[in-house]
Structures are given as structure tokens and as C-alpha cells.
Amino acid sequence: MSDELSGRTIAFLVSNEGTEQVELTEPWKAVEAAGGQPVLVSLDGGEIQAFNHLDKGDRFPVDRVVADVDAGEFDGLVLPGGVANPDQLRADDDAVAFTKAFLDAGKPVAAICHAPWTLVEADGVRGRTITSWPSLETDLRN
């Protein structure tokens, strides 16, 4: 088992409802398997409601609220997808500023599926090669 992330803290930024569950849980497990510490950061405290496509999935406890954290506390950022999740994040000033702080600091940022919408809002795609769900191609080009 790799320990590339040993001692590293990775923020997972999600909205309180609408995150695609597998896009949260599988990278979370990968961070743990690599020796890192994942931290669930959301817009509000309590729990988030994950989804399996359009069906409700599991609920997960929020570790930190985005308005109360600093990107300097973390070594990297994961932005899980789902359609609703990044759409809500991009409309939240604290979530956008948090994301932008990682980009400005040159820290690793992983954006899954529709999550590049949050990167667009944080002005973080210009001059970069980005992967996404196919329907975001025009948004990313623009």
C-alpha cells in the first residue's frame, strides 16, 4: 500500500445535498489507503446527503464548514461531482474563494465529473487542460 499522502490532509469540498456518492467515497478511500487524512468540508455543518445519480444515497457527517476553514490547513483539494453539487458550490462565495486559494497556491486540485464548474467560477481553468463530463466542454472552452 502506498504512503504517498502520509501525513497529508486533503479537503473534500461538497454542498450539503447533491454530491454523487461514488465520487466522494472512492477518492476518500484512496486518500486513506495512501496514508492521507480526508476532511469533509461543506457549506453548512451537520450532514450532507449524497446521491446515486437521482436516488438518495447515504448521509455523511461534515467535519468542517467552508466559511470557517483556510486552504492553508490542507495539502490538496478534491471536488466530487454530481450535477447539483458543483452548481451549488459555484454560487457560494466561501466555496469559490476556498477553491481559488488552492489554485493560487499551486496545490493539487482534483475535479471529478461536473466539478470543473466550481473551477470555472474560481477562474481556475484558463491555460489548463481539464477533464470533465462531456456536457461541460463548452463551459470550459468559454
How many angstroms separate the first and last alpha carbons of the chain? Answer: 41
Which among 132, 104, 112 has a CA at the least distance from the CA of 14? 112
Rg (alpha carbons) of the chain, rounded to whole number: 14
What gap in Å lies between CA 8 and CA 73, rounded to an integer? 10
**Structure-block grid coordinates of residue 137:** 466542454
Catalytic: 113?
A: yes
Starting from the edge strand earliest in sequence, which strands make up the sheet with 64-65, in order? 64-65, 37-42, 9-14, 76-79, 109-111
Active-site residue identified among 13, 113, 120, 122: 113
Active-site residue identified among 12, 22, 81, 114: 114
Residues marked active site are found at 113-114
